[in-house]
């Protein structure tokens, strides 16, 4: 079974909001209708967004770190928002695990938004239905797009590749590797919703050089090892003059 | 959570309607066993059912104001296997239909005897309809309560006390209304209804205070640490990602001060429980003026609206952790 998801690397997210704007751009232009704004240029601008980037300060001055935290629907494997829906408008696709809202069935009772512990659903004040991240489901299977384009808009927009996209149930996928090897974790595990989206933690960035990266391990003639060391008093122009 | 007046009206109005019907049918059951004098079908039960129906219809109308797309409301009956809201959507009209039939049968005095108990008590059509409606009234209380009690991370609601409160508070207001109704339509039943109204109101006070104590002792399971998955004791949000409001900042915050919340708590404890009990006691003592009983109902209803407002406002949604700072 496939479970498409995002893996978001907090170690490289720079908080540029490119994913926020690209998400809005793609999804507001889609067949499902616009993500309407109210007073976009007025005093209290507001509107529907599927994706946000928040910023947290971790630690105590002066030892603080700024963590940018992109926040969108986590496409839970056991989504608490789905069973509470009285109309069946909220559903989780069997084939790829994406949680979606059928805007033609939604009655706008907002009960699903209460049932999401993460606050990932937003009520569209113009269409009067509940909306949420679709993982750009209208891109993923579009045969008119190239393979490269068949990815969520936010993933394509990210300038630092902080957003990985793939099937977390495939143990060989890039996202599964990232989760396994970089310590990927889920948000609010205490509620048992098992969110599909994972986050990669901040890591200490150190330069790690293995011995074979300095001295060629695959050097069959051991030429590297045979280089004569110049005497300390001899003139040296890098390794050129020593030949 | 942000208390929506449509839901406050829905839950309090249908609570009264259900409670009033339960009171009427309790009186009929007592009368069936000759514990209370028989009442006139037409003037008492039929008119009482109409009154109960008016409250239920009021609640139903209020519920539509909660929906973004009320024209699609019929769809909400489809997911009864998983959704308590869907179950409520089915049970509410079913209950209203049975109350209507109950009133209709009494109005036309259509009471064919369907069975006779061994002790010689005749079970007529109204008793059968009434029993079904009685079951549906309780089913409706359970559905309404479970809509809130099933959300496991809204921990103020995730408790059997939520369901018990819906039953007791709805029942209390219904029996209080029945006392007022009896003062007009069947004065000999005032003491009976006033007695039960006081008992149910006091039971409601006990369970509501129990839930207040429980909620005061709750420790949040979700913290900023689990919300963003960083295990450092000191995390501060610098920006929630936008400066204007959003659905997340409107729907899940009550937007009032802690002092306002506290004052509403004391107001509803007084007006929903203490004052009505004192006023109903005048009915119990037999010196009741209808106006005083009516006042008891009005005060209790307003108190229950405050109680419901507080019920929503007190629930602290874990998503609020993500919306702490604009910057």
Q: Which residues contact A1 (CB under 8 A, 6 or more apart)?
A: A94, A97, A169
Burial of A213 (0-12, 13-18, 19+ CB in 10 A): exposed
Query: Do B229 and A45 make contact, defined as CB atoms within 8 angstroms?
Result: no
Query: Do A108 and B150 make contact, defined as CB atoms within 8 angstroms?
Result: no
Query: Do A117 and B222 make contact, defined as CB atoms within 8 angstroms?
Result: yes
Work out the minimum CA distance from B65 to partner chain A, whole angstroms.
Answer: 10
Q: Indicate the residue of A106, A123, A186 with minimum beta-carbon distance to B247.
A: A123
User: Which residue of A114, A127, A191 to mutate against B (max B Cβ within 10 Å)?
Assistant: A114
For residues B20, B23, B28, B30, the Cα torsion angle rounded to the nearest 10 degrees is 180
For residues A60, A65, A66, A71, the Cα torsion angle rounded to the nearest 10 degrees is -100
Q: Identify the pLDDT of residue A243.
A: 45
A97-101, A158-162, A208-212, B81-85: lowest mean pLDDT where? Answer: A208-212
Look at residues A5, A35, A25 and name the one whose alpha carbon lies nearest to residue A199.
Answer: A5
Domain that holds residue B222: 5-321
Q: Using an 8 Å Cβ cutoff, are B114 and B128 in contact?
A: yes
Structure tokens at B146: 């479970």
Task: Tell me if chain A has a CB within 8 Å of the CB of B84.
Answer: yes
By CA distance, what is A124's nearest residue in B?
B247
Cis peptide upstream of residue A62 (ω within 30 degrees of 0) = yes
Does residue B19 sit within a domain? yes
Instruction: For residue A110, name the pLDDT band (cuts at 50, 70, 90).
Output: very high
User: Which residue of A117, A125, A130, A186 to mutate against B (max B Cβ within 10 Å)?
Assistant: A117
Q: Is the pLDDT of residue A83 over 60?
A: yes
More confident residue, A233 or B267: B267
Q: Indicate the residue of A56, A107, A129 with minimum beta-carbon distance to B76.
A: A107
Does residue B45 sit within a domain? yes
By CA distance, what is A107's nearest residue in B?
B69
In this prediction the ipTM stands at 0.91
pLDDT digits (tens, 9 = 90+) for A141-159: 999 999 999 999 999 999 9
Q: Indicate the residue of B83, B235, B244 with minimum beta-carbon distance to A45.
A: B244
Work out the minimum CA distance from B306 to partner chain A, whole angstroms.
Answer: 21
Q: Is the pLDDT of residue A217 over 80?
A: no
Q: What is the mean pLDDT of residues A36-42?
A: 92
DSSP letter at A103 equals: T
Task: Tell me if chain A has a CB within 8 Å of the CB of B231.
Answer: no
User: Which residue of B246, B253, B326 to mutate against A (max A Cβ within 10 Å)?
Assistant: B246
Mean pLDDT of chain A: 90
For residues B299, B302, B304, B305, the Cα torsion angle rounded to the nearest 10 degrees is 180
- Using DSSP's 3-state secondary structure scheme, residue A138 falls into helix
Structure tokens at A126: 């113009």
What residues pair up with B116 in beta bridges, in sequence order?
A: B122
Task: Tell me if chain A has a CB within 8 Å of the CB of B70.
Answer: yes
- CA–CA separation, A98 and A141 (whole Å): 13
- Structurally, chain B folds into a number of domains equal to 1
Query: Do B67 and A53 make contact, defined as CB atoms within 8 angstroms?
Result: no
Query: Do B235 and A45 make contact, defined as CB atoms within 8 angstroms?
Result: no
Work out the minimum CA distance from A223 to partner chain B, whole angstroms.
Answer: 49
CA B248 to chain CA centroid, nearest Å? 27
CA angle B274, B195, B9 (to 5 degrees): 55
Q: Which residues contact B15 (CB under 8 A, 6 or more apart)?
A: B141, B144, B166, B169, B170, B171, B173, B174, B304
Q: Indicate the residue of B84, B251, B318 with minimum beta-carbon distance to A117.
A: B318
- A89 neighbourhood in chain B, CB within 8 Å: 75
Does residue B249 sit within a domain? yes
Q: Is the dihedral of CA B69, B148, A186, A202 positive or negative?
A: positive
Look at residues B30, B1, B37, B53 and name the one whose alpha carbon lies nearest to residue B308.
Answer: B1
Does residue B212 sit within a domain? yes
Q: Is the pLDDT of residue A43 over 70?
A: yes
Cα dist. B189→A24, B30, B35, B170, B248 in Å? 64, 11, 11, 20, 50
Structure tokens at A178: 């990232």
Kindly give the confidence (pLDDT) of every residue in chain B, 327 residues in length, as a single tens digit, with 9 standing for 90 and above: 999 999 999 999 999 999 999 999 999 999 998 898 888 878 899 999 999 999 999 999 999 999 999 999 999 999 999 999 999 999 999 999 999 999 999 999 888 888 888 888 889 999 999 999 999 999 999 999 999 999 999 999 999 999 999 999 999 999 999 999 999 988 889 999 999 999 999 999 999 999 999 999 999 999 999 999 999 999 999 999 999 899 999 999 999 999 999 999 999 999 999 999 999 998 777 666 888 999 999 999 999 999 999 999 999 999 999 999 997
The tokens 């695990």 sit on which residue? A97
- CA–CA separation, A76 and A192 (whole Å): 9
Structure tokens at A12: 């490289």
What crossing angle do the helices spanning B290-314 and B5-32 adopt, rounded to 10°? 130
Query: Do B322 and A54 make contact, defined as CB atoms within 8 angstroms?
Result: yes
Tell me the Cα Rg of chain A.
24
User: Which residue of A56, A74, A179 to mutate against B (max B Cβ within 10 Å)?
Assistant: A56
CB proximity under 8 Å: B 238-277 to A = 238-248, 251-252
The tokens 């602290």 sit on which residue? B316
- CA–CA separation, B187 and A217 (whole Å): 103
**Quick one: three-class SS letters along A174-214?**
HHHHHHHHCCCECCCHHHCCCCCCEEECCCCCCCCCCHHHH
- CA–CA separation, B66 and A108 (whole Å): 8
Does residue B203 sit within a domain? yes
Work out the minimum CA distance from A24 to partner chain B, whole angstroms.
Answer: 14
Q: Using an 8 Å Cβ cutoff, are B175 and B225 in contact?
A: no
Instruction: Give backbone dihedrals phi and psi of A69, rounded to 5 degrees, phi first.
Output: -130, 100
Does residue B93 sit within a domain? yes
- CA–CA separation, B320 and A186 (whole Å): 18
Q: Which residues contact A203 (CB under 8 A, 6 or more apart)?
A: A11, A182
Does residue B326 sit within a domain? no
- CA–CA separation, B45 and B61 (whole Å): 24
User: Considering chain A, what percentage of its residues have pLDDT values greater than 90?
Assistant: 79
Whichever domain contains B176, its CATH number is 1.20.1630.10
CA B43 to chain CA centroid, nearest Å? 26
Q: Is the pLDDT of residue A215 over 70?
A: no
Instruction: For residue A235, name the pLDDT band (cuts at 50, 70, 90).
Output: low
Q: Identify the pLDDT of residue A158.
A: 96
Pairing of strands A4-9, A198-200: parallel
Q: Identify the pLDDT of residue B119.
A: 85
Does residue B327 sit within a domain? no
Q: Which residues contact A208 (CB under 8 A, 6 or more apart)?
A: none
- Using DSSP's 3-state secondary structure scheme, residue B124 falls into strand
Look at residues B315, B320, B295, B18 and name the one whose alpha carbon lies nearest to residue B141.
Answer: B18
Work out the minimum CA distance from B139 to partner chain A, whole angstroms.
Answer: 17
Work out the minimum CA distance from B4 to partner chain A, whole angstroms.
Answer: 11
Q: Is the pLDDT of residue A139 over 70?
A: yes
What residues pair up with A57 in beta bridges, in sequence order?
A: A66, B236
Structure tokens at B36: 């209370």
């Amino acid at each position: 079974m496939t479970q498409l998801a995002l893996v978001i690397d907090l170690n490289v997210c720079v908080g540029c909001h490119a994913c926020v704007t690209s998400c809005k751009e793609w999804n507001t232009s889609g067949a499902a209708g616009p993500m309407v704004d109210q007073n976009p240029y007025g005093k209290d601008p507001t509107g529907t967004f599927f994706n946000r980037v928040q910023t947290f300060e971790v630690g105590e001055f002066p030892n603080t770190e700024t963590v940018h935290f992109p926040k969108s629907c986590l496409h839970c494997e056991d989504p608490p928002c789905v069973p509470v829906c009285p109309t069946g408008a909220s559903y989780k696709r069997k084939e790829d695990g994406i949680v979606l809202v059928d805007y033609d069935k939604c009655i706008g009772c907002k009960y699903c938004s209460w049932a999401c512990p993460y606050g990932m659903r937003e009520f569209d004040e113009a269409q009067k239905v509940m909306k949420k991240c679709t993982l750009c489901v209208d891109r993923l299977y579009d045969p008119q797009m190239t393979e490269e384009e068949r990815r969520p808009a936010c993933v394509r927009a990210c300038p630092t590749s902080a957003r990985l996209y793939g099937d977390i149930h495939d143990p060989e996928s890039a996202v599964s590797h990232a989760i396994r090897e970089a310590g990927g974790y889920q948000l609010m595990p205490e509620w048992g919703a098992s969110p599909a989206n994972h986050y990669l933690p901040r890591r200490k960035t150190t330069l790690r050089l293995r011995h074979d990266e300095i001295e060629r391990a695959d050097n069959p003639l051991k030429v590297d090892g045979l280089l004569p060391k110049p005497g300390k008093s001899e003139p040296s122009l890098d390794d050129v003059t020593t030949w | 959570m942000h208390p929506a007046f449509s839901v406050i009206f829905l839950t309090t109005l249908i609570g009264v309607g259900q409670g009033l019907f339960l009171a009427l049918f309790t009186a009929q059951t007592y009368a069936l066993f000759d514990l209370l004098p028989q009442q006139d079908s037409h003037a008492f039960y039929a008119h009482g059912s109409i009154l109960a129906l008016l409250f239920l219809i009021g609640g139903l109308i209020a519920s539509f104001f909660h929906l973004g797309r009320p024209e699609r409301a019929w769809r909400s009956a489809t997911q009864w296997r998983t959704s308590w809201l869907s179950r409520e959507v089915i049970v509410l009209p079913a209950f209203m239909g049975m109350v209507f039939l109950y009133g209709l049968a009494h109005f036309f005095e259509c009471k064919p005897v369907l069975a006779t108990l061994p002790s010689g008590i005749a079970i007529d059509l109204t008793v059968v309809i009434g029993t079904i409606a009685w079951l549906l009234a309780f089913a409706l209380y359970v559905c309404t309560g479970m809509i809130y009690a099933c959300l496991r991370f809204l921990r103020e609601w995730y408790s059997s006390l939520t369901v018990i409160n819906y039953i007791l508070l709805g029942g209390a207001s219904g029996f209080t209304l029945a006392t007022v109704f009896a003062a007009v339509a069947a004065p000999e039943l005032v003491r009976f209804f006033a007695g039960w109204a006081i008992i149910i109101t006091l039971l409601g006070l006990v369970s509501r205070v129990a839930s207040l104590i429980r909620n005061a002792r709750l420790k949040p399971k979700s913290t900023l640490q689990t919300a963003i998955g960083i295990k450092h004791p000191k995390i501060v949000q610098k920006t929630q990602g936008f400066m204007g409001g959003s659905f997340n900042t409107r729907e899940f915050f009550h937007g009032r001060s802690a002092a306002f919340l506290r004052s509403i708590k004391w107001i509803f404890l007084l007006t929903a429980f203490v004052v009505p009990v004192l006023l109903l006691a005048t009915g119990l003592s037999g010196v009741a003026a209808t106006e005083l009983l009516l006042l008891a109902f009005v005060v209790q209803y307003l108190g229950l609206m405050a109680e419901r407002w507080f019920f929503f406002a007190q629930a602290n949604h874990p998503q609020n952790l993500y919306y702490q700072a604009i910057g």
